[in-house]
Structure 1
Amino acid sequence: MTTTHPSLLSILALVVLTAIMPCQAEFMVVLPDSSGLVDRPQNGFSNLARTDPAEQRAVYETMAATGNAWATAIPDVCRGRWHGIECMPDRNDVYHVVSLSFGALSDDTAFPTCDPAHATLSPALLHLPYLRSLFFYRCFSGDHPQQIPAFLGGLSPSLRSLILRENGHVGPIPTELGNLTSLGVLDLHGNKLSSSIPQSLQRLTRLQLLDLSYNQLTGPIPDLTNPTLNVLDLSHNFLHGQIPATFGQCDSLIKMDLSRNRLIGSIPDSLSNLKSLILLDLSHNSLSGPLPSSLGKLISLRALLLNGNYMSSATIPEDGFAGLKELFTLVLSNMGLQGPIPESIGELPSLRVLHLDGNKFNGSIPQSFQRLEKLSELRLNDNRLSGPIPFSKEMLWRIGRKLRVYNNPGLCYDASNGRSEGIDSMSGISYCETETKRVVVGAASASISGHQTKHLSSRTDRGPPSRPSSYAPTHGSGILRLLVPITGFLLSVLPLL
């Protein structure tokens, strides 16, 4: 079995979790290819086994360049290895370096740290022909920011994982990185990289993870057709242009995050081919409508975030999300959406978080929302909704303060679902009354009907209301109850004066 450092295995587990839930960071490690090397524990070899001398010198130089000159005091870097170097022997009992890692990843991961004032990437790395993984985390973020050196494109053809994360790197992504055609992971997250994404990355057809998020990249997104790509994160940049339709050919994608860029155009229908997709985040761009009904074909989707794309006058297709039975997060805030909220959203049995706030939805809250038994957060505020809020008191208590319905002037609460006193989310929402009152005007009569707002008694019959014995105002609506009989009285006696 291939040996991998325990901390790296925990990192691999982390990427699976972050692919399911929206987040800002993840790591992924590709296990080394043991071709030509003996795949067994390092400490099980003859005392005659030694590190390759040329690789030993390369490690000394690489360590010194990062401010870790102490390594030169170790006679054999593979036999006296530290947390951050991994080696494998060949059949001649010669050790070869397969992984180097730097940076304080966590309190219990003591990779060698870097001297922030003097650390550099050394060309000596080119003399490690068996290198599979190279990891630098927060190593070059001092007062003198560095570019990613082009010589990295000449690293071992066996390199599987290149992670240069939060190092303060500036300038462009070197075109030469496209020469690393065995790469499974390219992670440049959290630097200050500028310019465009090089087209040469299209040659990295074995990529499983591409993370260029939290940089300052500009220009269009290159066409990618990687059949092995699981995670694509280009979020928090300045990328513009349209979403490439070729992304629909990356049919192994689990996570796609293109949020907080400047993308335009419509959402490609080709994305419906991504049957394994769990997270799709296109939020905070300038995408235009209409919302494609093809999104309903993403049967594995758990989280869909489109908020912040102002699609003026767009509507939600009635069955647009009907196929998303696994969906538990749907965020469509501040999109300029209008029309009624489809009843079909209430048929998503796994839904836990639903944000529809900041739109122009009209009509009533769908009755089907009562069936969202797992719902724990609902935002409907700042719309044009009207009519009764259909939720039971139990549902209101369950969601609590994570229910937001304010700034919908036409909404009211049906007291037949249980009194709402003490429920913070109902603050400012009045009780509904849908009864017909009759006002006598001389010998004629007229009906006044429709929604009125007042606190209801426990009476449940729908017949004409009996004359109240008191006109004490309740939450402001009692004033209206006083005016109706007084106005009727005046209108009936005026002709007699």
Structure 2
Amino acid sequence: MAAIATFLCLLILTFVPLYSSEYTVVMPDSSSALVDAPQTGFSDRARTDPDEQRAVYAIMEATGNGWATSIPDVCRGRWHGIECMPDTEDVYHVVSLAFGSLSADTAFPTCDLARAGFSPALLALPHLRSLFFYRCFAGGNTRLPEFLGRLGPMLRSLVVRDNELAGGIPEELGNLTGLRVLDLHGNGLSNSVPTSLCRLTRLRLLDLSYNQLNGPLPDFSFPELTVMDVSHNHLQGRIPSSISQCNSLVKIDLSRNLLAGPIPPSLGELTDLILLDLSHNRLSGPFPCSFPNSLTTLLLNSNPMSSATIPEKAFKGMTELNTLVLSNMGLRGPLPESIGELEKLRILYLDGNKFNGSLPRNLMKLEKLSELRVNDNMLAGPIPIGRELVWKMGRKLMVHNNSGLCYDLSNGRYEGMESMSGVKYCQVKSAEGEEGRHATKHYAAAAADTARVNRTPPSASGSSSSDSVPGLGGTLERLVAVAELLFLVTVFL
């Protein structure tokens, strides 16, 4: 429900300026009834345009709402799902129609799923600016009709959401050049995205997500577009570089498609971008050198960038970033120190790659970090995270399957920390100069080698003297290991 409420708020905020400068809009009240007492505040002489009233009756019939024909004046009544505005001649015109029950307190007329359809009578509403169908069509037999493209340049918002439709997106929708919102989310639409949509240069929101669209993504260039969501389709080809010309974008979601090729460097030019989700595609390297500093969420996981490395300054200046997900990408090489400069970072997923070297020491500065995954890599050296942060993250800290990682005892022991299960201790001593840092880097590996030497089983011919006292053998073995480790530390330092 939160997502639907956000969507409705976006529509309201987007279109209030369109109406307020010219008309007073008859808004439905908050009651749950579909029809209430007559609307007040307008001239008693005002009536709905007769042609538009007949059109509304036909549209209601087509959606299974034949009861509406008993309403004497569709605009003068308090009827949820319809909005009207009067002209200077005291004639009401229909500017908005909405069908589908979003929630118990949003009582738009629902549709009869067994027989609902799009009525050509929509073309008899020349002042229509917003058309909304939510869960009105089922069975996969209804298509988006071509005549929707003849609704004219007055239409500002077309939302056909979460229906079971057949076929593709009609080319004719490209004729709706006044459109600000095109939302066809979750309809099962197939075929390619028509290039005619490139003519909708005034779009602010484009949502074609959760369909079965295929083929390439057209060269969209919408200067006013703020939201582009074409996720969960079967789109192929490259991400068009023209997307950088949509320079008002705040959100781009192209996830879960079949897009290939490199990530366009021009995405870094989108200075207002907050969310970028390119996850679950077939994108290849190289890894981009930079991203917009405005980003708060960057999701690139599950793209096969085998052998690609992350440039040292890839995340430089991204002070607003709070979510970074780079899981399962086949990335190699060391992790850039710039990751530790992302002070607002809360979620960091680097798992399922081939990163080597050590974790950046400035990770300890990320006090807001609540989830960290570095498991299934080839990392080594100390885990630069304090005990309190380890406790805070709990199971959301994943460091397993990095044979060289160890935990710094100077941070306190981690008994009871399930997320650190299987991780060895490494007593990292502070050392000044390059030589000291070098010793710290290799200490964990030396400790692991020594431990393997001291786990040699006793010979079959007999047992050591310590075996006669339960538990003493293990203690002696540990003492010997500690002595040898101290010797190794002396050599390194």
How much has 1:37 moved relative to structure 2? 5.6
Q: Which residue of 2 aligns with 1:451?
A: 446
Contact 1:37 1:90 in 2 (8 A): no
How much has 1:411 moved relative to structure 2? 1.2
Contact 2:321 2:345 in 1 (8 A): yes
Change in 2 beyond 3 A, CA 1:293/1:40: same
> What 5-or-longer segments of structure 1 have no aligned partner?
1-6, 16-26, 436-447, 457-468, 488-497
1:134 aligned residue (127, 131, 134): 131
For 1:55 and 1:9, how far apart are their aligned partners in 2?
30
Change in 2 beyond 3 A, CA 1:149/1:478: farther
Question: In structure 1, what residue type is equivalent to 2:118?
Answer: L
Show the 5 A alignment for 1:360-439. Answer: 360-433=354-427
Q: Which residue of 1 aligns with 2:432?
A: none
After superposition, what is the alpha-carbon deviation per residue over 1:237-273, rounded to whole angstroms, capped at 9, x for unaligned? 0000000000011000000000010111111111111
Contact 1:285 1:308 in 2 (8 A): yes
For 2:106 and 2:65, how far apart are their aligned partners in 1?
17
Is 1:236 matched up with 2:221? Answer: no
RCO comparison, higher one (Cα < 8 Å, 6+): 1
Contact 2:260 2:282 in 1 (8 A): yes
Show the 5 A alignment for 1:2-13. Answer: 11-13=7-9
Q: Which residue of 1 aligns with 2:456?
A: none
The secondary structure found in structure 1 opposite 2:362 is helix
Q: Identity of counterpart residues, as a percentage? A: 62
Q: Which residue of 1 aligns with 2:75?
A: 78
How much has 1:424 moved relative to structure 2? 1.7
Contact 1:453 1:477 in 2 (8 A): no
For 2:401 and 2:158, how far apart are their aligned partners in 1?
50
Q: Which residue of 2 aligns with 1:38?
A: 23
For 1:77 and 1:449, how far apart are their aligned partners in 2?
78
Show the 5 A alignment for 1:447-486. Answer: 451-452=446-447, 481=478
Question: In structure 2, what residue type is equivalent to 1:384?
Answer: M
More helix by proportion, 1 or 2?
2
Contact 2:410 2:427 in 1 (8 A): no
Cα RMSD, aligned residues only: 2.9
Change in 2 beyond 3 A, CA 1:97/1:314: same
After superposition, what is the alpha-carbon deviation per residue over 1:302-340, rounded to whole angstroms, capped at 9, x for unaligned? 000000001011111111111211000000000001111
Q: Which residue of 1 aligns with 2:277?
A: 281
How much has 1:480 moved relative to structure 2? 5.2
For 2:4 and 2:160, how far apart are their aligned partners in 1?
15
> What 5-or-longer segments of structure 2 have no aligned partner?
27-38, 430-442, 452-465, 485-493
For 2:405 and 2:474, how far apart are their aligned partners in 1?
15
The secondary structure found in structure 2 opposite 1:134 is strand
For 2:370 and 2:444, how far apart are their aligned partners in 1?
36
How much has 1:34 moved relative to structure 2? 3.8
The secondary structure found in structure 2 opposite 1:396 is helix
Q: Which residue of 2 aligns with 1:271?
A: 267
Give the TM-score normalised by the residue count of structure 2: 0.84
Contact 2:247 2:271 in 1 (8 A): yes
Q: Which residue of 2 aligns with 1:462?
A: none
1:146 aligned residue (142, 146, 156): 142
Is 1:190 matched up with 2:181? Answer: no
Q: Which residue of 1 aligns with 2:49?
A: 52
Change in 2 beyond 3 A, CA 1:434/1:276: closer
Q: Which residue of 1 aligns with 2:352?
A: 358
Question: In structure 2, what residue type is equivalent to 1:397?
Answer: W
Give the TM-score normalised by the residue count of structure 1: 0.83
1:158 aligned residue (154, 177, 182): 154
The secondary structure found in structure 2 opposite 1:290 is coil
How much has 1:43 moved relative to structure 2? 2.9
For 2:192 and 2:119, how far apart are their aligned partners in 1?
25
Q: Which residue of 1 aligns with 2:110?
A: 113
The secondary structure found in structure 2 opposite 1:262 is coil
How much has 1:294 moved relative to structure 2? 2.7
For 1:80 and 1:485, how far apart are their aligned partners in 2?
87
Q: Which residue of 2 aligns with 1:203?
A: 199
Contact 2:60 2:66 in 1 (8 A): yes
How much has 1:486 moved relative to structure 2? 13
